[in-house]
Structure 1
Amino acid sequence: MGEECILKGVRKHANPGKATILALGKAFPHQLVMQEYLVDGYFRDTNCDNLELKQKLSRLCKTTTVKTRYVVMSEEILKKYPELAVEGLPTVTQRLEICNKAVTQMAIEASKACIKNWGGSLSDITHLVYVSSSEARLPGGDIYLATGLGMSPKTQRTMLYFVGCSGGVAGLRVAKDIAENNPGSRVLLTTSETTIIGFKPPSADRPYDLVGVALFGDGAGAMIIGSDPRVETEKPLFELHTAAQEFLPDTEKKIDGRLTEEGISFKLARELPQIIEDNVEGFCDRLMDVVGFQSKDYNKLFWAVHPGGPAILNRIEKRLDLLPEKLNASRRALMDYGNASSNTIVYVLEYMIEEGNKIRKDGGEDPECGLILAFGPGITFEGILARNLCA
């Protein structure tokens, strides 16, 4: 695989033994939040009348580019657990009671949607990879998901907990390794997240919280991954050629999350977008160098980037000199769902397929090769060099 796969524009079947994404699925809680109404609702629900904080959140809501999001939080939950809106109360037990149940329900729904889109049988799934930063329990959510789906007790399970926004691509990397090292296997990768674990009333002492309120959403995503697709029954979407993970030394505090008696508290460094901008080109080049891809014309690739926020997307676009349409799928996912942490890459890939269909319908040719990227605590870069097999 090299530069010729883009220049010729010739679609190929999946390479023997290489993992492919065979299906996508998603699910959301029932509560839909319109960004234009978020500020008034949030301050009403938390009984806060701080005008300065309200104005700050209003500004943030406009800069995030988010239009709609789904959330587990509801009036019913706040009536049952009014302490969640009170500053300083120990509520981690209540939060986990809500979150553990909610993420399992969403994970089951997303997995069922994915399996339906795949067209295969639940009994054909040999492995389960489960990703979440929104729950904490023993046994873990993988057991509850497997049980809820009715999976075989022999299904081999792997959990990735508290890996944040990079979790979806990290899970894909793990699923890729499993699929390629277990011929005939079919891996269900499911991610599920809710912001209730970190829901708090506004406070001048925690300006980071307002960023989260303006940006993050809830939901679940799922993928089926396997190698050597069955020609008669399976339609591969993306081939996962090469995967890489890299952390940046001395950046552990730039994305800082701590589980406390009041839930999870996050701090995001202001320089986070700049750090990603400074390092993304080198990471992408090292990933492409593995297969001898020499071209630095990044516009010959497709880009499925986890939308951590508009500033991150803008910085990547600037550093790599990308055409504006290259990040359309990421910007659409951010606008429609917010940053839903590990789930969001599933929504980006769905929009990537839609964008490709539009290009071909208009007589154009979308790139065959591209990068699937996400960034999380560490600061950790996750990337996969992939081929688009949809056309």
Structure 2
Amino acid sequence: MTINGAHNHLQAEPPLWIVGLGAQYPPYLFGPEKLEQMVAKFHDPESAAFKKLLAVNRSSGIETRALVRPYDKGFTNLTNPPTICELDVFYRQAGVDLTVQACRKALKEWGGSYQDITHTVAVTCTNAGNPGYDLLVAQKLGLRSNLDRILLHGVGCAGGLAIIRAAAQILNGASLRRKPARVLAFACELCSPNVRCDLADVAATRYIDEINIAGALFGDGAAAVVLCNDFAMTPEDQAIFRLVDWANDTIPGTYGHMGFLTDPTGFRTVLSKDVPTFTKNAIKPTFERLLPSFRERTDQGELDALDFDWALHPGGTAIIDGAQNSMNLSNDQLRATKEIYRTRGNSSSPTVLIVLDKLRTMGTGRENVVAASFGPGLAIEMAMMQRVRCSSYEEFGDV
């Protein structure tokens, strides 16, 4: 079946639908002043490295970040940074709980039975345990035991769109077999428990120009999305977006510029000062590679970048500004990205999905939407879609 006037010439390629979205931030907020207090408590704020970090902290443009625990409790106040073992145990409780909340929002919007979910695709870079956290989420939701599960790792901030890409490939495969498929895709990152490790890394740095600035950028969050192929759509189902096309690429010569590596004392973040330049230069070629097929599939032959709302991963002000300048975008086109960055910062993999979720609350907007994110590799992920309907929206937070 097709809904909402899908074009006849696309019948050989059954469409894919996003039918539910959910975003969940924890309730505790962390302002720039809290990081300054933490540095003063455990380190020397007058050292050259910390002076530079705190300058970034003050100028980041982030007013608040979300934390899974209050600032005055938990890892932020221990004498030593948490170990990788302690981070694992904590994630498998707090991270799973946060993810389940996001998934329930997406599943509620879809409106179907949990038992009708055929696949899950999950991602995280702040947990590396086995079995993966996706199994714990599936069990807590009460999904069926013979679910097809996929857990992605190693994609970092690009993960939110990597799970969309993987889900789309699953759905297309099921369509070729003329079988219904319903994918619950979700992402969760707990970055705040790693801030003490980030600060310890700054204290140990030998090269001021290469300090770890992650402690000034990252917060916690989760997001989920339900996708269906056309064979799974019922007359009761209402799509939010039609997923039209997607792509990923790896930028040559950038392997060492972004990373998130496992150390005994936590996760060590790698972010070079050249990342904004690489991402700015990568976004236009990827967009131009996808645009012709999007025009063909939607019968919009004159489209360009100005005809899209952009759900851009808010990796930092330099990344946002670089993409905006490269594509000649207006502030309005990036309104959701800028709002999420200002109010919650960067939560790694779920953030681009949270931006997409936020976008649909910010006016009617443009019919066409492009989402883009970047991760270690350096990798770029992009997805193009069309709006199908405006939906009721439950604001993220401590719901």
TM range (shorter): 0.7 to 0.9
* Aligned 8 A contact 2:295 2:303 in 1: no
Read off the aligned partner of 1:43 and give its amino acid letter. Answer: V
Give the one of 19, 22, 26 matched to 1:22.
Answer: 19
- In 2 relative to 1, CA 178–198 (structure 1 residues): closer, same or farther, beyond 3 Å? farther
In structure 1, distance between residues paired with 2:62 and 2:6: 37
Measure the CA separation in 1 of the matches of 2:227 and 2:248: 19
CA gap 1:34/1:234 in 2 versus in 1, 3 angstroms: farther
State the one-letter code of the partner of 2:143. Answer: M
The runs of at least 4 consecutive aligned structure 1 residues that moved more than 6 Å come to: none
- For residue 197 of structure 1, report the CA deviation from its aligned partner: 4.0
The percentage of counterpart residues that share the same residue type is: 25
Q: In the superposition, relative to structure 1, how do residues 180 and 45 fare at CA in structure 2: closer, same or farther (>3 Å)?
A: farther
Residue of structure 2 equivalent to 1:324: 331
Aligned partner of 2:145 in structure 1 is: 153
C-alpha distance in structure 2 between counterparts of 1:199 and 1:148, whole Å: 30
Q: CA deviation at 1:152?
A: 0.8
**Pairing partner for 1:353 from 322, 340, 360:** 360
Task: For 2:285 and 2:233, locate their aligned partners in 1 and report how far apart those are by CA, in whole Å.
Answer: 37
Name the CA distance, whole Å, in 1 between partners of 2:46 and 2:264.
25
Q: What is residue 75 of structure 1 aligned with on the other side?
A: 72
Equivalent residue, structure 2, for 1:390:
389
Provide the alpha-carbon RMSD of the alignment.
2.4
1:72/1:102 contact within 8 Å kept: yes
Query: SS state of the match for residue 334, structure 2?
Result: helix
Q: CA deviation at 1:370?
A: 2.8
Deviation at 1:244, TM superposition (A): 0.8
Q: Does 1:282 align with 2:285?
A: yes
1:248 equivalent in alignment to 2:245 = no
CA apart distance, 1:278: 1.6
Pick which of 291-300 and 270-279 moved more: 291-300
C-alpha separation in 1, matches of 2:49 and 2:77: 26
Task: Name the aligned partner's letter for residue 75 of structure 2.
Answer: L
* 1:306–1:344 CA contact under 8 A, matched in 2: yes
Q: Is the 8 A contact 1:99 1:197 kept in 2?
A: no
Equivalent residue of 1:223, what SS? strand
Normalised by the length of structure 2, the TM-score is 0.85
Deviation by residue 1:59-92 (Cα, 9 ceiling, x = unmatched): 212332111211235433238853217xxxxx22
Note if contact 2:53-2:211 (Cα within 8 Å) is conserved in structure 1. Answer: no
Structure 1 partner of 2:62: 66
Which residue of 2 is the match for residue 186 of structure 1? 182
Question: Does the 8 A contact of 2:195 with 2:215 survive in 1?
Answer: no
Give secondary structure in 2 for the equivalent of 1:325. coil
| 343-352 or 177-186, which deviates more | 177-186
Query: Structure 2: which 5+ residue stretches go unaligned?
Result: 391-399
Could you tell me which runs of 5 or more consecutive residues in structure 1 were left unpaired when the two chains were aligned.
Answer: 1-10, 86-90, 361-365
Secondary structure of the equivalent of 1:239? strand
Q: CA deviation at 1:345?
A: 1.3
Cα deviation, residue 286, structure 1:
0.7
Indicate how the Cα distance of structure 1 residues 321 and 302 shifts in structure 2: closer, same or farther if over 3 A, else same. same
Query: Counterparts of 1:291 and 1:13 in 2: how far apart (Å)?
Result: 13
User: Are 1:117 and 2:96 counterparts?
Assistant: no
Q: Do 1:134 and 1:162's aligned partners in 2 also have CA atoms closer than 8 Å?
A: no
> Normalising by the residue count of structure 1, what TM-score does the alignment of the two structures yield?
0.86
How far apart, in 1, do the equivalents of 2:16 and 2:185 lie?
A: 13
CA distance 1:351–1:13, change in 2 (3 Å): farther
